């Protein structure tokens, strides 16, 4: 770390948080945090993806476009500098503040959440055997001691670009959008799902179904306007000290959970998902203003591989009096955490009183989202400069995309391809699909546009009775 950057606790007393790096917003000259990685073996792939998780507190402001990510390339294990790539990210923060503020508690502060920032680059020279990754900023003039918080540096080396880019020296496919995947090795799994066989791997059969974990999630693809890996980096989690385990016991020590999400393709027309419902991002400490815990579950969901629009589908009316969406889970994010409808047990709007990742637990200790959870990673970080990517699936099998219909255009505001009452629209590349609508009811989906798989439903409309009052207070006061 250099300049004003320092290491500190990235949360308040009501956060499950970690120590990380803090960029104070009152720094005259800014600062940086960097890490160098040696012994890069280019035979493992020439694409480098640098990602970190950051939170720009309300009021954090830098002078000019000076908050940036950088990848520097070296030879001789760091002795000789060769080249670099940078990306400015304060523009993304301003875009989020403009478009996502209404996603927050009582429609305020929805951009001041944890989210991922990413820079992907091709290693430019064969001599490169060392890279240095950095986040840095210049002078800041922030209000109320606001800061930029940094956690979870990640550097991943791959043989193919995650964003559809190609190596100009190896352009071998007619379509640049698909060239990053060797489609000759793809096998169809049903609907829009495909799998890339490894060398010597057998084609899955009904008697030997395909199981997907974090180990092979980079080879499971969903066909959108291009091939996506929606579950990549989302299948593991931590069972945190202070959570409850599956048996209901208070957890005393953090435990890594490698199988938080496990997928199985059995050849029966469904994607079977086993999910423990543990968030893979920071959360508030519960109980707090919310008296419930975050608990580990063990649920099975069946998502139709070829979802079908239901001609008898009905969207929600006022307070969901027609029962178009049940209480409990209505779908799941790609990290295995369930989506709920927009209401609490009293049928009041439940989109407020959330933590910094837009979630909270229900009275049965089930962590869930009522609205767009910007903290949920996708392999393609949503910068608002194109159509959003898949962030989850409704229980009718149709995908749920992020908020953008096109560059700078949220689906909720689109006039060229407007959403219907279900929060769904159609285009030829993606077919029918849902969009989340930050700050606009019904937030996730307005009803099942497709034929729902009934085994996924909790079958109870009001299982918990009235929710306790939280006194109208926001769940988190914010980091100090």
Tens of pLDDT, residues 386-434? 999 999 999 999 999 999 999 999 999 999 999 999 999 999 999 999 9
Looking at residue 182, its pLDDT comes to: 66
pLDDT, tens only, 71-120: 999 999 999 999 999 999 999 999 999 999 999 988 888 999 999 999 99
Looking at residue 480, its pLDDT comes to: 26
Which of 253, 359, 250, 360 has the alpha carbon at shortest distance from 296? 250
Q: Is 475 helix (H, G, I), strand (E, B) or coil?
A: coil
Sign (positive/negative) of CA torsion 152, 158, 164, 170?
positive
CATH numbers and ranges of domains, the chain: 2-158 (2.60.120), 180-228 (no CATH), 233-480 (no CATH)
Whether the pLDDT of residue 245 is over 60: the answer is: yes
Beta-strand relationship, 237-239 and 261-265: unpaired
Name the residue with higher pLDDT: 337 or 27. 337
Looking at residue 181, its pLDDT comes to: 65
Name the residue with higher pLDDT: 469 or 451. 451
- Mean pLDDT value across residues 268-288: 95
- Mean pLDDT value across residues 256-260: 97
Rg of the Cα atoms in the chain:
22
Using CA atoms, how far residue 307 sits from 68, 81, 339, in Å, is 42, 52, 18
Which of 1, 34, 6 has the alpha carbon at shortest distance from 22? 6
- DSSP class of residue 295 equals B
Place of tokens 């219907």: 420
- Mean pLDDT value across residues 265-271: 94
Residue 309, both tokens: 């629009």
- In the chain, the N- to C-terminal Cα span, in Å, equals 21
Looking at residue 395, its pLDDT comes to: 97
d(CA 114, CA 109): 12
Q: Is 320 helix (H, G, I), strand (E, B) or coil?
A: helix
d(CA 357, CA 114): 6
Looking at residue 200, its pLDDT comes to: 77
Whether the pLDDT of residue 469 is over 80: the answer is: no
Q: Is 272 helix (H, G, I), strand (E, B) or coil?
A: strand
Beta-strand relationship, 424-427 and 431-435: antiparallel
- Mean pLDDT value across residues 133-140: 94
pLDDT, tens only, 157-202: 988 887 777 777 655 444 433 445 667 789 999 999 999 988 778 7
Which of 179, 190, 448, 181 has the alpha carbon at shortest distance from 313? 448
Strand partners, 57: none
């Amino acid at each position: 770390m250099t300049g004003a950057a320092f290491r500190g606790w990235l949360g308040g007393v009501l956060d499950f948080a970690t120590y990380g790096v803090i960029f104070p917003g009152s720094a005259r000259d800014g600062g940086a945090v960097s890490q160098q990685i040696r012994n890069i073996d280019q035979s493992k792939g020439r694409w480098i993806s640098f990602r970190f998780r950051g939170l720009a507190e309300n009021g954090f402001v830098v002078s000019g476009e000076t908050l940036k990510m950088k990848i520097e390339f070296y030879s001789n294990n760091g002795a000789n500098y060769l080249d670099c790539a940078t990306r400015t990210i304060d523009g993304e923060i301003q875009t989020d503040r403009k478009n996502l503020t209404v996603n927050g508690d009582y429609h305020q502060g929805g951009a001041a959440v944890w989210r991922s920032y990413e820079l992907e680059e091709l290693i430019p020279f064969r001599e490169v055997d060392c890279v240095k990754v950095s986040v840095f900023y210049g002078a800041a003039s922030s209000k109320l001691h606001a800061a930029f918080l940094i956690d979870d540096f990640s550097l991943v080396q791959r043989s193919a670009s995650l964003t559809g880019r190609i190596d100009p020296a190896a352009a071998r496919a007619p379509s640049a959008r698909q060239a990053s995947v060797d489609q000759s090795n793809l096998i169809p799994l049903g609907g829009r799902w495909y799998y890339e066989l490894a060398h010597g791997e057998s084609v899955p059969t009904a008697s030997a179904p395909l199981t997907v974990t974090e180990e092979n999630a980079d080879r499971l693809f969903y066909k959108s306007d291009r091939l996506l890996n929606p579950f990549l980096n989302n299948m593991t989690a931590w069972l945190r000290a202070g959570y409850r385990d599956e048996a209901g016991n208070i957890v005393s020590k953090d435990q890594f959970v490698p199988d938080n999400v496990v997928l199985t393709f059995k050849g029966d027309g469904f994607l079977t998902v086993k999910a423990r419902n543990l968030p893979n991002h920071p959360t508030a400490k519960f109980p707090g203003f919310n008296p419930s815990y975050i608990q580990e579950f063990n649920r099975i969901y069946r998502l139709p591989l070829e979802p079908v629009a239901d001609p008898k589908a009905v969207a929600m009316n006022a307070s969901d009096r027609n029962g178009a969406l049940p209480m409990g889970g209505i779908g799941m994010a790609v990290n295995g955490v369930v989506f709920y409808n927009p209401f609490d047990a009293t049928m009041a709007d439940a989109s407020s009183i959330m933590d910094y990742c837009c979630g909270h637990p229900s009275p049965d200790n089930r962590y869930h989202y009522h609205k767009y959870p910007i903290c949920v990673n996708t392999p393609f970080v949503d910068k608002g400069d194109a159509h959003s990517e898949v962030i989850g699936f409704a229980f009718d099998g149709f995908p749920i995309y992020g908020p953008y219909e096109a560059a700078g255009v949220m689906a909720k505001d689109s006039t060229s391809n407007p959403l219907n009452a279900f929060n769904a629209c159609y285009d030829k590349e993606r077919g029918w699909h849902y969009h989340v609508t930050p700050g606009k009811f019904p937030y996730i989906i307005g009803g099942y546009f497709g034929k729902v798989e009934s085994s996924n439903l909790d079958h109870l409309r009001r299982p918990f009775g009235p929710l306790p009052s939280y006194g109208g207070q926001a769940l988190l006061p914010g980091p100090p």
